Amino acid sequence: MNLERTMSQKILIVEDEASLVMTLTDRLQRNGYEVDSAGDGEVGLEKALTGAYDLLLLDVMLPLKSGFDICRKVRQSALDTPILFLTARGQTIDKVTGLQFGADDYLTKPFDMMELEARIEALLRRAAPEASYSFGNISIDFRSAQVTKNGVPVVFSAREFHLFRYLVEHRGATLSREELLTEVWGYDAMTSTRTVDVHMAWLRQKIEENPKFPVWILTVRGMGYKFTG
């Protein structure tokens, strides 16, 4: 999965739940990441501000300083380290408010480890964008925004390409229609989630062998979509 990674990337976990830190550390190390951790907000902030990390995994409710405090201070110091928040169930965090603190993504506890890994990989990919990506008989050149199928160019609208790129960057993650609307269409979009479905149907027409039985863009019942390429 991480064969393309030549230098190990460093993740800082700031979390006061020791058992979760152990589980996360173990799992992420097995995936080839270097992992460091802090059990409270002050130590977490101190470490985060060194800028030595490729990604910060922050709990929100922490002793001494909250995850939001850390996030805000990190952004104030002009560090653009990707930040993924781990939020407790029932802790409703308005995504827009959170993004004002400079966070990049959220995951609600309890979360699926595969989902966390997919989110982490997506954030690291965005920080160091890939020039191209291939799956099945499809190739994407991100720099020229060109997609080819069996070597033949496929025409994408700007929106379709943006959506496709988001799917590829978040491969393996389950993406809700709301997230896709926010990320691909923008916060103020007066669009309905139906728009997402329509565009997914168009993407399937372009990349799937049989759009009626998609193998790359899957519908996750009651959740949204998942790209498996």
Residues contributing to the site for Ca ion (CB under 5 A): 16, 59, 61
CB of 200 to Ca ion, least distance (A): 36
> What does the alpha-carbon distance between residue 47 and residue 80 come to, in Å, rounded to a whole number?
15
Q: Closer to Ca ion by CB, 16 or 42: give it.
A: 16
β-partners of residue 154 are: 147
Q: Closer to Ca ion by CB, 16 or 36: give it.
A: 16
> What does the alpha-carbon distance between residue 177 and residue 89 come to, in Å, rounded to a whole number?
20
DSSP H or E run through 63: none
CB of 206 to Ca ion, least distance (A): 44
**Amino acid at the residue 141:** D
Query: With 0-12 CB in 10 A as exposed, 13-18 as middle and 19+ as buried, what is 153?
Result: exposed
Q: Closer to Ca ion by CB, 20 or 154: give it.
A: 20
Classify strands 10-14 and 34-38 as parallel, antiparallel or unpaired.
parallel
Q: Closer to Ca ion by CB, 21 or 124: give it.
A: 21
Q: Closer to Ca ion by CB, 15 or 169: give it.
A: 15
CB of 3 to Ca ion, least distance (A): 34
CB of 60 to Ca ion, least distance (A): 7
Residues in the chain: 229
Q: Closer to Ca ion by CB, 66 or 195: give it.
A: 66
CB of 63 to Ca ion, least distance (A): 8
Closest residue to bound Ca ion by CB: 61
CB of 109 to Ca ion, least distance (A): 9
Angle between helices 193-207 and 158-169 (to 10 degrees): 90
> What does the alpha-carbon distance between residue 97 and residue 102 come to, in Å, rounded to a whole number?
9
> What does the alpha-carbon distance between residue 95 and residue 103 come to, in Å, rounded to a whole number?
9
